[in-house]
Structure 1
């Protein structure tokens, strides 16, 4: 039943948001050379890899690592990319991942294929059995400010307490956080004194 609802809701949202899809796609193409979508291999349920979709916010040729690993992430961003990233509109294409079954609306954020430490910690905590989400408990409790250990503990909390009520709370809090652009950090230099090894939600 849950899977049926995810397919239905993601399809409805894709249809409703199709004009926004088109506008953002045109702006990206006019602003810089390269594809509209940024795709990347991410770690999914039970550590299986899947192709992850976002709107491209970086210039072609940007190193394929989490943005906090870049010395100056903003220098790689396009002007349109800064806007869609700040408003989290770059996450909309993940509705495709939900429709395909790679992701769900609420769950641990999918780690990059090369975030081996986070993968190891999540596996040890049993978090790897969860389907990754567009948003999650860690995203409304620090997001980029959390290091791998903190993210894993927050994801473990979600695993042990997941419920419809908690999912609804996370979704509402996500909207609030996005509107205030809370927890978003761009680039290694900006927060190197705060956290050395946190992962962002990707390029």
Structure 2
């Protein structure tokens, strides 16, 4: 489903839940657990990209030290969610990965869940470079994507426009960062406690 046709119901949660993410965001990596909770409660998620670190150069950048309360919080939450977390030494520019994933979501949706999880694992578990086209294509092929079709599409301007429109869609609902979920009329921003997601029930 393209998000263009999304129209929330003001009284009941009947529409898909838009969920914005970026592959380099550790809160989004753990946010996979929050999305799983919503899915278990009967929600359909509309998982769409929101690039948040476009200041990272195309060749990537060295990551600084991961110390202090925020990183301790993330490590605790990752353990609670059963997600391995190995801080990568470098931060990639994630735009190519986000654009490819959004193309797959729109055009080969059956492969999207595997690719989405696989690219998160590539960064936060394996330390692979998501700015490397070959890395992204490798995970796409492993998820069952037609590499030639994806490569041909990525040589056009269409997929990039879709990511830009996703940013406009986020702005429409007041989303300024990731992760974020729009559950009915309620915007849930950031990695909120699991208990908050467990309170939701689909109509």
Q: If the TM-score is normalised by the length of the shorter chain, which range does it land in?
A: under 0.3
Q: Using structure 2 for the length normalisation, give the TM-score.
A: 0.26
Instruction: Kindly indicate whether structure 1 or structure 2 has the higher relative contact order, using CA contacts under 8 Å at least 6 residues apart.
Output: 2
Q: Using structure 1 for the length normalisation, give the TM-score.
A: 0.26
